[in-house]
Amino acid sequence: MTKLSEKYDLMVPRYTSYPTAPHFRNGIKGDIYRQWLKELNPTTPLSLYFHIPFCDEMCSFCGCYTKVVKRYDPVADYLEVLLSEIDLVAQALPSRFKASNLHWGGGSPTMLKGSDWKRIIERLFKRFDITDNATIAVELDPRTASIEYVKALSDAGVNRASIGVQSFDADIQKAINRIQPYEMTAKVIGWLREHGIDQINMDLMYGLPNQTTEMIEREAELAIGLQPARVALFGYAHVPWMKPHQKLIDESALPNADERWQQFEASSSKFIEAGYEPIGLDHFSLPDDDMSEALNEGTLHRNFQGYTADSAPTLIGFGASAIGQMHQGYMQNVSPLKQYSERITAGNFAIERGIELSQDDRLRGYVIERIMCDLSVDLNFVCRKFDVPNTTFISEIEKLKPLSEDRIINLSDNIITVTEIGRPFVRLVAAAFDAYLDNGKGRHSRAV
């Protein structure tokens, strides 16, 4: 395996969309967005994503779009704009829509005040029919949470919380500028459960500075002890050319490709032994969680939040830099806060870029999503579904032959199945179907 992790130590996208975000272009603006919103089918529930781009301090590994603020005022101003954007979008829809999935990410949504949640939820109920069984999920930073805050989330109807942990090790926490003792995380999870928010996700990382396999095994054991329903085990993506604050991380302390692979394998084994089901590239979930059910039913999806059990075909993004997804294409709001705020306050949408999907994009996007989610795809079925000849993927199959020889995949009669050995390399399998990959746009993170 050492040989494979070194041989395939390549840079490839994470495929949270296809085409991936570096291929979005500037031609998609508010007028096109308005038209796309108008064309939506009112009987299909929406998924809504809200981006809160503020944090208390910067974790040096962070790959998100966020800004450090020490005062609440900019957050309060931003909230007013966000509420206006909710109104703008709702008014542009052809009728009143249902929403079945609401997700707040960032940044740190917990930079909002507890009392803000009541206002946000009231506005959403005013504008949308929130379904009875809707998932209402918030990414929560335990370092800024209090029991009163958790109560405010619960009162607002939040039923799932994603807890950022990354590492339980005190030395690693120092190296990544995120001091968050285990006891703090455990206490906040206890508060969430006491207040009925019992669907808990936890984010952990491997490949962090000075991290060893023994350390991450211990961290996996601590995580398992807290029994989150889902765990996301991300490989640290060192991309200082895109995220300059990552230059604070000592590159010489980063594990090499083989060490990263061993860390992933060791921690992954811990979760599987403890009864978690492996999901796609880097998630684990308990068998009774929606995500395991979606995996077993073949309805697991992948979007900008990673893997999701949410089956709504339309994702509307709110907030600076937020990305949305529709049958017609992808669209992204402008990132700088000032521009976002000015556009929305003037009564315009803040869409800055995106891409209109061609039928070839949809075909390849479908194949890539099934590979990333199911670790398997039947190209005969896909060709029938999209009404294209079953010889469509001859060159892709040719590209995959080395992966088949290395037992990363099984290839038989146009059916591709990623092996257990191949799971950490699934992005490479998906990349064979990416028609944009060789055009030089975007530098990506390591495959493992």
- Is 158 or 430 the residue whose CB approaches ligand SF4 more closely? 158
Residue 319 binds ligand SF4 (CB under 6 A): no
How many helices and strands in the chain, by DSSP H and E? 15, 21
- Pick one of 19, 142, 164, 228: the residue that binds ligand SF4 (CB under 6 A): 164
Closest of 212, 203, 204, 263 to residue 5, by C-alpha:
263
Burial-class residue 187 by CB neighbours within 10 Å (0-12, 13-18, 19+): middle
- Pair of tokens at residue 233: 């085990």
- Pick one of 13, 19, 45, 106: the residue that binds ligand SF4 (CB under 6 A): 106
- Is 32 or 64 the residue whose CB approaches ligand SF4 more closely? 64
**β pairing state of 415-418 and 445-446:** unpaired
Cα dihedral value 365, 368, 370, 371, nearest 10: 180
Closest of 359, 236, 282 to residue 15, by C-alpha:
282
Interface size with ligand SF4, residues (CB under 6 A):
11
- Is 164 or 365 the residue whose CB approaches ligand SF4 more closely? 164
User: Nearest distance from residue 15's CB to ligand SF4, in Å?
Assistant: 21
Going residue by residue from 49 to 68, which x/- string records binding to ligand SF4, judged by CB under 6 A?
------x--xx--x-x-x--
- In sign, the C-alpha dihedral spanning 124, 126, 130, 136 is positive
- Is 21 or 375 the residue whose CB approaches ligand SF4 more closely? 21
- Is 163 or 331 the residue whose CB approaches ligand SF4 more closely? 163
Residue 108 binds ligand SF4 (CB under 6 A): yes
User: Nearest distance from residue 141's CB to ligand SF4, in Å?
Assistant: 5
- Is 180 or 292 the residue whose CB approaches ligand SF4 more closely? 180
Q: How far apart are CA 394 and CA 143, in angstroms?
A: 51
Beta-ladder partners of 106: 52
Cis ω for the linkage preceding 19 (within 30 of 0): yes
Residue 274 binds ligand SF4 (CB under 6 A): no
User: Nearest distance from residue 37's CB to ligand SF4, in Å?
Assistant: 28
**β pairing state of 199-206 and 230-235:** parallel
Residue 141 binds ligand SF4 (CB under 6 A): yes
Q: Which residues bind ligand SF4 (CB under 6 A)?
A: 55, 58-59, 62, 64, 66, 106-108, 141, 164
